[in-house]
Amino acid sequence: MKFNYAKVFLVGFGFLGISIIWPIFNQFIPIFLQAGNPEFERQLLAEGREIPLVTGFALAPSLALFIMTWDNLVNIFVQPWVGDRSDRTWNRFGRRKGWVLLGMPIAMLGFVFIPVAQSVLAIAVFILITNFGMALFRSPTIAWLGDLFLPADRSKANGMINLMGGVGGLLAYLVGGMLFENFGRSAPFIAGAVATVVALVVALIFVKEPPPTQTQAAVKEKNKGVLANLKTVFVNPDKSGLFVLVSILLWFIGFYALETALSSFAVFVLGISPGKASIYSASITLSFLVFSIPAGLIATRIGRRRAIRIGLAGLFVLLPLGWLIIQDALTFIAVLVVGGIFWALVNVNSLPLVYDHGDENKIGAYTGLYYFSSQAAAVLGPTLSGILVDALGDQYRYVWLFSTVFMFLAFLTMSRVRNVIPAVKNP
């Protein structure tokens, strides 16, 4: 079957919509929660840097980053459940689309109220509403990769889809930063919500879901749910699938710890304004965007396992430089640009690797297992790194070393994953 570029482009709108939200979420909310902390102000003044003008709740890093992620304690279980259920959802909307229609308005409602929250409790509630809504449609949207593309084509397709996601992330960083600088704290959130809805609606209208096969229809009756899928991975004599999920957990702990700390590092260590911090952070997304398609093509040529290990090795070498050499905006950008290249090799090939060691008739379920690992990491990474920052005297610079450790551990666990040659035909 000929590779369908138009189909990839349309599916990519779904990923673009998802990718707009997270950069805005991770760049600005930590600043809102921590701004006004006297320890950060003391450090900036001691280094002769200006204190950025932004109103916040003056929280310690550990509490701020926990609030950023606490809702993922729910999502760890919601997203796998939704992914599993979407395998067995066949109605007039299709297989996955009904979940998008359900979750999108919930997520956007919570998202636009985050910047106007007047208390820590209120902002925590709006974060929960946002991520609960996102949990309802993330797994079904991403599962289109497995539904619509042959196993041998998934890395290439995911490279293009991640390119679209990178465009969304880049818009969020750059436009969000400019909107924050010129129109205030609500502007990035309102614009991000509108852009997300537009992108998802395009995907809903134009993505054509395939009808169920006889095997997939049978799954509707036989599938026993998320716990059964987890048990299958654990009891399988071939532990490759288990080590894939463990590796995903480890590298996303490192990634989410750093991603949620980037704006705090730029604002509270380098003295950069929140808007400019968001713009500068776009450099990692820009290089990821440029290298996403090559990352998929490289994996198609040398194998997903090898491509991921190359990316992890590169991050293991690079990230300590963030701790050693970053002193200003230029060095900050330089490290992020190179990091985006290595991260593309890892991230673009992560989900296809899960499918390689899963069940082709349970794409949604295995997408859910992918999110089970990644969402657990979204809780553990920022929370543990926040505790570390607190313990070391509010020193965000050490987050770079924290992430380094987990990239190295993921590199080791990936050595236990069996190489798989993707099939060229549908099972």
For position 245, which CATH number holds?
1.20.1250.20
- What phi and psi values does residue 91 have, to the nearest 5 degrees? -145, -170
Among the ranges given (4-8, 87-91, 173-177, 220-224), the one the predictor scored with the smallest mean pLDDT = 220-224
Does the structure show a pLDDT above 80 at 88?
no
Does residue 388 lie in a domain region?
yes
Does residue 426 lie in a domain region?
no
Note whether 250 and 374 are within 8 A (CB): no
pLDDT for the residue 335? 96
Does residue 201 lie in a domain region?
yes
Q: Which has the closest alpha carbon to 99: 70, 113, 72, 79?
A: 79
CB atoms within 10 A of CB 47: 11
Which is higher by pLDDT, 222 or 249? 249
- Residue 394 zone, left/alpha/beta (φ > 0; ψ -120 to 50; rest): left
Q: Which pair of tokens denotes residue 144?
A: 């289109």
Which is higher by pLDDT, 165 or 212? 165
Identity at 163, one-letter amino acid code? L
Mean pLDDT of 31-55: 86
Mean pLDDT of 123-130: 94
Does residue 347 lie in a domain region?
yes
CB atoms within 10 A of CB 344: 28
Number of domains into which the chain is organized: 1
Does the structure show a pLDDT above 70 at 366?
yes
Does the structure show a pLDDT above 70 at 157?
yes
Question: Partners of 350 in the beta sheet?
Answer: none
Mean pLDDT of 304-329: 94
Question: Partners of 94 in the beta sheet?
Answer: 91
pTM given for the model: 0.80
CB atoms within 10 A of CB 317: 14
- What phi and psi values does residue 121 have, to the nearest 5 degrees? -60, -45
pLDDT for the residue 387? 94
Per-residue confidence band for 351, with pLDDT thresholds at 50, 70 and 90: confident
Does the structure show a pLDDT above 60 at 310?
yes
Does the structure show a pLDDT above 60 at 347?
yes
pLDDT for the residue 424? 43
pLDDT for the residue 426? 41
Q: 85-95: b or e for each residue (b if 16 or more CB lie within 10 Å)? A: bbbbbbeeebb
What percentage of residues in the chain have a pLDDT greater than 70? 93
Instruction: Give the tens place of pLDDT for each residue, 284-294.
Output: 989 998 998 89
Mean residue pLDDT across the chain: 87
Range of the domain at 50: 5-206+225-414
Q: Which pair of tokens denotes residue 58?
A: 């003056």
Among the ranges given (29-43, 354-368, 383-397), the one the predictor scored with the smallest mean pLDDT = 354-368
Instruction: Give the tens place of pLDDT for each residue, 334-345.
Output: 999 999 999 999
Does residue 121 lie in a domain region?
yes
pLDDT for the residue 214? 46
How far apart (Å, rounded) are the C-alpha atoms in residues 402 and 319?
9
Coil/strand/helix, residue 420: coil
pLDDT for the residue 7? 87
Per-residue confidence band for 213, with pLDDT thresholds at 50, 70 and 90: low
- 141-145, 184-188, 368-372: which is most confident: 184-188
Does the structure show a pLDDT above 80 at 89?
no
Does residue 425 lie in a domain region?
no
What percentage of residues in the chain have a pLDDT greater than 90? 51
pLDDT for the residue 423? 46
Does residue 215 lie in a domain region?
no
How far apart (Å, rounded) are the C-alpha atoms in residues 421 and 398?
39
> If residue 250 lies in a helix (H) or strand (E), which one and from where to where?
helix 240-268
Query: Whose structure tokens read 């079957």?
Result: 1
Beta strands in 213-353 (DSSP E): none
Q: Is 143 exposed, middle or buried (0-12, 13-18, 19+ CB in 10 A)?
A: buried
Note whether 193 and 108 are within 8 A (CB): yes
pLDDT for the residue 264? 93
Does residue 423 lie in a domain region?
no
Q: Which pair of tokens denotes residue 277?
A: 């911090």
pLDDT for the residue 227? 67
Cβ contacts of residue 369 below 8 Å, gap of 6+? 80, 83, 226, 229, 230, 233, 245, 354, 358
pLDDT for the residue 215? 44
